[in-house]
Amino acid sequence: MIEDIVLTEINQDTLEKMYHQNGYDVMMSFACNHELVKKNIELLKSFGILKIEDLLINRSHLFLKDNEKLLKSFAKFNVANLVNLINEDYTMIDELMDN
Amino acid sequence: MNESIVKLRLEIEKAIVRANKLMNESHVIASLKESSNLFNSKHILSMSKKDFDKIIKNLKKPNQLTENEEEFIKSLIRMPDEIKQIKEILGFGTEQVTIIENIHSKIEKRISSFSEVDVLELEKKVNEYKVLLNKLDKNDFNLITEIDLIAGILEKSKLSFEEKINILKGINQINASIAAKYNISFTSSEENIISEDSLEETNLPLSLLQDLFTEFAIRWEIEDTATMSERAKTQKKNKLAQLQNKLLKYGNYEQMREKLQILKDHHLDFVFSMFEILTRILLFTKKEQLFQLIESANKTGIDLTTLVRKQPTVLFPQIKERKNKGKKSPSSSERTFYGGWDNCINNIKFLEENGYSVFQVFEDCPTFFILNNKTIRKNQKYLQMYGFSLKDEEGKTKHGFSMLGRGNLLKQADIAIENGCYQYFYKNLSRFASDINVYRIKLARSKGLDDSKIFRLFNGTKRNGICLRAEFYNPTSEQFGDMPSDTFDKYQAVEPYVESKEIYDQIIANSDNDNISEIATSDSVIDQLDKLYKDPNNDLVYNFNGIIISRLKVLRYYQTLMMNSKITSSKELLIYVITKHSMLNMEELSTIKQCIREIKFGEKVKL
C-alpha cells in the first residue's frame, strides 16, 4: 500500500518531491516494489553514483527496472567514466538507458 | 472528404468572401467620408489626385458620376497649380458649383447606403472561419467544437434542410473518429472519472466477505509486524479496517468473486496482498476492463505479470476519492485521483498506432504505461511539429519515451533552436526538455568557446555520442550563470519595450499556443517575414542577418494573439513574438528591429 513507500527508506523530503513530480500511480508502483527500488538504489550507490535523489525524482522509471538488467547496462560502459559523468549530471544516466 | 463537409467548406469560403467584402467596403466608405468633407467649392482645390481617383473609382450605380461630372473632376486633376491659385481667388461659376454639389450629394448617398460594420469583429469572424476550415481540411486531433459558428453559417446558406442535417452529421462523424482515436469522452474530463460517491451501497454481510477471503486465500491482516513501530502498526490496522468497511458498504459479492477469479486465473493473485489496490479493483474495475488489459498485454507481447507488478494501478480505472481531512465540514475534504487503467490501455494503443515497439518501451520505461495519455499524444504532436522523431533513421524505436510525459516541450524546442543545441537534443532525445539551462551554450559561444569546449564525445559500446560538459548542465555555474535569468545578465541581454506586453503575456498564458493554421501562414506580415528571413534550408528558422529565431515560435504566438479580436498586427506585436524567450543583447535586438522595418503592416486580410 502507499504507506509502504516508507519501506524504500527514501527520505521524506525526496518522497514529497517524487510525489509532486510523478503522481500517485508511480508512487504506488514504488510502494508495491519497495524491495526492488531499494535494491536498485543500493546497486547505483555501489557503483559510486551520488545523485540518487535527482534520479529518484526525475528518472523514477529507472528504479523499477529489473535489478539484473540495470546491472547489465553498466557492463557496456567504462563504469568509472560513466559514474563520474552521472555524478556531474544525472541526465547522463540516459546514456546508460539509450545504449 | 465527405460530400456534406465539402458543401460546408464552400459555405465557409462564401462567408469569408462576404466578410472581406464588407471590410473592404468599410475601408472605402471611411475614405469617402474624408473626401466628402473636402468636396465643396471652398476646399475642392486643395484635394489631391489620389482623393479624386478614389471618388471616381468608388462612386457606383446608382450614384455613379455622369460623363460631364467625371470630366470636371479630371479637369481639376489636370489643372496646373498656378491656375488653381487664380481659380481660388476668382471662385467657381454657377454651373461648376452645381456640378460640385451634385457630386457631393452622390458621395453622401453612397456613404449613407452603407450600414456601419464592426471591422474588428469581422476580422475575428474571418479568423474563426479560417480555423474551422483548417480543422475540416487536415484535422485528426482537435475536436470541431464551433457548432454555433457552423449553425450561423448554415442559417444564412441556401442549402436544403436535408443538406444542413447531413453537414451536422458529417461534423459528428469527424468528432466521433477523433474521440475514438484519442479515447475522448464528450463529457468533462472529471465526469469521465468514476467517483466514490457514485457507488451504490450494498451493505454486504461480513460473513460473505470473509467467505470470499477464505475462498481466495486472502489474509486481510498486516504481516511483518516485527520491524514496525506501534504507531505504524495502528495506522496500518486502521487503514485495513477502513478498506474493509468500504468493501462491506459498496461491494457486490458476485462481481467481486468474478474479478478475483479472473486475477487468479491470470496469475495476478499477488495483488491479493496489496489491499489498497485490491479494494479499488473490487469496487471500481469492471471485469471487461480486466479482460481488455489482459488482451492488450497478450497481443503486444508484454508480460502481464511484470506489467501489473511494476504498475499495479493499471488494474483499476481513474477514480476520485474523498479524503476527509477532519470532521469540521464537507468542505474540509479534498479529492484525490488514482488509477492507471485508462492510460495504460490508451498508451499501448498509442504505441501500436505509431508503429513503436511496445516491448522495448516496456523494457526501457515501465512507468510510460501510466503516463497521462493526452499529454503523451500532445507531446508527440509537438515533437513532430519541430522535426523530432521517436524513431531512428532505420525506423527503429528510439529510447527515452519517458520524455513524452514532460511539460513545456514547445518552449524548450524554441530555446534549443535559438541557442544552438537543436541537433544535440535531436540526437539525445531523452535529455530534451530536461532542466538544462540551454542559454549557457549561446553565452559560451559568444565568449569564443568552440564546440569542443561545450560538448564532449562519449564512447558507448553500440554508439558514440556527444554530451554536454559539466559546466553546462550542473545546477550551478559561476561562469555561465545558475538560472536562465543569471545567464541573461551575464550575456547583457535586453528586453524590447513593448507597450502591450502585459496584455500579450496574459493572452499567451491562457492558451496552449500550439496551433499554426492559415491565420498565421496566410497572414501578409508572416508572408513577408517568410520571404525575407526564412532560412531557405530550414523551415524551423528565421535568420535575421545572423540572429537565429525559432520560426514556429513566431508563428504560434502570432496566431494566438491574432485570434484575439482586440489585437491587430503591428510592429510592436511582431517584436514581442520574435523576441519572446530569446536571449538577445542590444546589438542583436537592433539587428532584428532593423529587419522588421522592412515589413509592411496594415495589409488587408488575404483570402
**So what's the pLDDT on residue A78?**
78
Say which of B430, B465, B474 has its CB closest to residue A97: B430
| Domain ranges, ordered by start, for chain A | 2-98
Say which of A29, A76, A77 has its CB closest to residue B310: A29
Chain B residues closer than 8 Å to A28 by CB: 276-277, 312-313, 338
**For residue B187, what pLDDT band results from cuts at 50, 70 and 90?**
very low
E strands in B495-602:
541-544, 547-550
Report if residue B67 sits inside a domain. no
**Which phi and psi angles does B79 have, rounded to 5°?**
-60, 125
Mean pLDDT, all residues of chain A: 84
Q: Tell me what the mean pLDDT of segment B222-240 comes to.
A: 78
Is the Cβ pair B365, A3 closer than 8 Å?
A: no
Q: Tell me what the mean pLDDT of segment B81-104 comes to.
A: 85
Residues of A with CB under 8 A from a CB of B: 1-3, 22, 24-26, 28-29, 32-33, 58-61, 64-65, 69, 76-78, 85, 88-89, 91-92, 94-95, 97-99
ipTM: 0.84
**For residue B253, what pLDDT band results from cuts at 50, 70 and 90?**
very high
pLDDT single digits (tens) A52-61: 998 999 888 8
**For residue B121, what pLDDT band results from cuts at 50, 70 and 90?**
confident
Least confidently predicted of B120-129, B173-182, B293-302, B483-492: B173-182
Amino acid in position B66: T
Q: Tell me what the mean pLDDT of segment B161-190 comes to.
A: 73
**So what's the pLDDT on residue A11?**
85
Is the Cβ pair B458, A91 closer than 8 Å?
A: no
pLDDT single digits (tens) A21-34: 888 888 889 988 98
Q: What is the DSSP string of B23-82?
A: HHHHHHHHHHHHHHHH-STTTGGG--HHHHHHHHHH--TTSPPPHHHHHHHHHHHH--HH
Is the Cβ pair B473, A65 closer than 8 Å?
A: no
From B330, B360, B390, the end of a domain falls on B360
Report if residue B469 sits inside a domain. no
Is the Cβ pair A89, B470 closer than 8 Å?
A: yes
Chain A residues closer than 8 Å to B274 by CB: 1, 32
**For residue B334, what pLDDT band results from cuts at 50, 70 and 90?**
very low
Residue B403 to residues A94, B217, B350, B474, B491: CA-CA distances in angstroms? 11, 41, 15, 20, 30
Q: Tell me what the mean pLDDT of segment B24-31 comes to.
A: 86
Is the Cβ pair A94, B274 closer than 8 Å?
A: no
Chain B residues closer than 8 Å to A85 by CB: 458, 467
The CA distance from B549 to B547, in Å, is 6
Interface test with B, best of A64, A70, A78, A94 (most B CBs within 10 A): A94
**So what's the pLDDT on residue B326?**
43
Say which of A58, A69, A98 has its CB closest to residue B399: A98
Chain B residues closer than 8 Å to A64 by CB: 310, 366-367
**So what's the pLDDT on residue B185?**
52
**pLDDT > 50? residue B327:** no
Is the Cβ pair B474, A88 closer than 8 Å?
A: yes
The CA distance from B484 to B491, in Å, is 10
**pLDDT > 90? residue B120:** no
Take residue B107 and report the three cell numbers written for it.
458621395
SS3 of residue B461 by DSSP: coil
**pLDDT > 90? residue B278:** yes
**So what's the pLDDT on residue B471?**
79
**So what's the pLDDT on residue B1?**
65
Chain B residues closer than 8 Å to A22 by CB: 367
Q: What is the DSSP string of A35-98?
A: HHHHHHHHHHHHTT---HHHHHHH-GGGGGS-HHHHHHHHHTS-HHHHHHHHHH-GGGHHHHHH
Is the Cβ pair B465, A89 closer than 8 Å?
A: no
Nearest-neighbour CA in chain A from B360: distance (Å): 11
Is the Cβ pair B274, A65 closer than 8 Å?
A: no
The CA distance from B502 to B116, in Å, is 32
Give me the domain span that covers residue B230.
195-360
Nearest-neighbour CA in chain A from B475: distance (Å): 9
SS3 of residue B223 by DSSP: coil
A-to-B residue pairs, Cβ atoms closer than 8 angstroms: 105
Q: What is the DSSP string of B119-166?
A: HHHHHHHHHHHHHHHHHHHH-SSS----HHHHHHHHHHS---HHHHHH
Of residues B438, B440, B408, B407, the one with CA closest to residue B425 = B438
**So what's the pLDDT on residue B224?**
66
**So what's the pLDDT on residue B197?**
76
Of residues B356, B334, B264, the one with CA closest to residue B305 = B264
Chain B residues closer than 8 Å to A83 by CB: none
**So what's the pLDDT on residue B264?**
96
Amino acid in position B116: E
**So what's the pLDDT on residue B462?**
57
**pLDDT > 50? residue B328:** no
Chain B residues closer than 8 Å to A76 by CB: 460-462
Report if residue B290 sits inside a domain. yes
Most confident of B134-143, B178-187, B303-312, B452-461: B303-312
Nearest-neighbour CA in chain B from A15: distance (Å): 17
Chain A residues closer than 8 Å to B369 by CB: none
Report if residue B542 sits inside a domain. yes
Q: What angle do CA B533, B123, B142 make, to 5 degrees?
A: 75
**pLDDT > 70? residue B373:** yes
**pLDDT > 90? residue A93:** no
Take residue B87 and report the three cell numbers written for it.
481659380
Share of chain B above pLDDT 90, in %: 38
Is the Cβ pair A25, B470 closer than 8 Å?
A: no
Query: Where is pLDDT greater, at A46 or B428?
Result: A46
Query: Where is pLDDT greater, at B456 or B187?
Result: B456
**For residue A84, what pLDDT band results from cuts at 50, 70 and 90?**
confident
Report if residue B464 sits inside a domain. no
Query: Where is pLDDT greater, at B304 or B141?
Result: B304
Alpha helices in B518-563 (DSSP H): 518-521, 524-533, 551-562
**pLDDT > 50? residue B605:** no
Say which of A1, A29, A95 has its CB closest to residue B367: A29
The CA distance from B49 to B578, in Å, is 39
Alpha carbon dihedral A41, A43, A48, A50, in 10-degree steps, equals -10
CB A89, CB B473: distance < 8 Å: yes
Take residue B116 and report the three cell numbers written for it.
456601419
**pLDDT > 90? residue B528:** yes
**pLDDT > 90? residue B208:** yes
CA-based max dimension of chain B: 119
**So what's the pLDDT on residue B336?**
62
Most confident of B38-42, B51-55, B502-506, B560-564: B502-506
Nearest-neighbour CA in chain A from B346: distance (Å): 16
**So what's the pLDDT on residue B607?**
35
The CA distance from A36 to A29, in Å, is 10
Nearest-neighbour CA in chain B from A44: distance (Å): 17
Mean pLDDT, all residues of chain B: 85
**For residue B75, what pLDDT band results from cuts at 50, 70 and 90?**
confident
Over its C-alpha atoms, chain B yields an Rg (Å, rounded) of 34
Is the Cβ pair A89, B468 closer than 8 Å?
A: yes
Report if residue B465 sits inside a domain. no
**Which phi and psi angles does B215 have, rounded to 5°?**
-60, -40
Please tell me the total count of domains within chain B.
2
**pLDDT > 90? residue B552:** yes
Least confidently predicted of B34-48, B268-282, B285-299, B549-563: B34-48
**So what's the pLDDT on residue B139?**
65
The CA distance from B140 to B147, in Å, is 17
Q: Tell me what the mean pLDDT of segment B347-371 comes to.
A: 90
Report if residue B208 sits inside a domain. yes
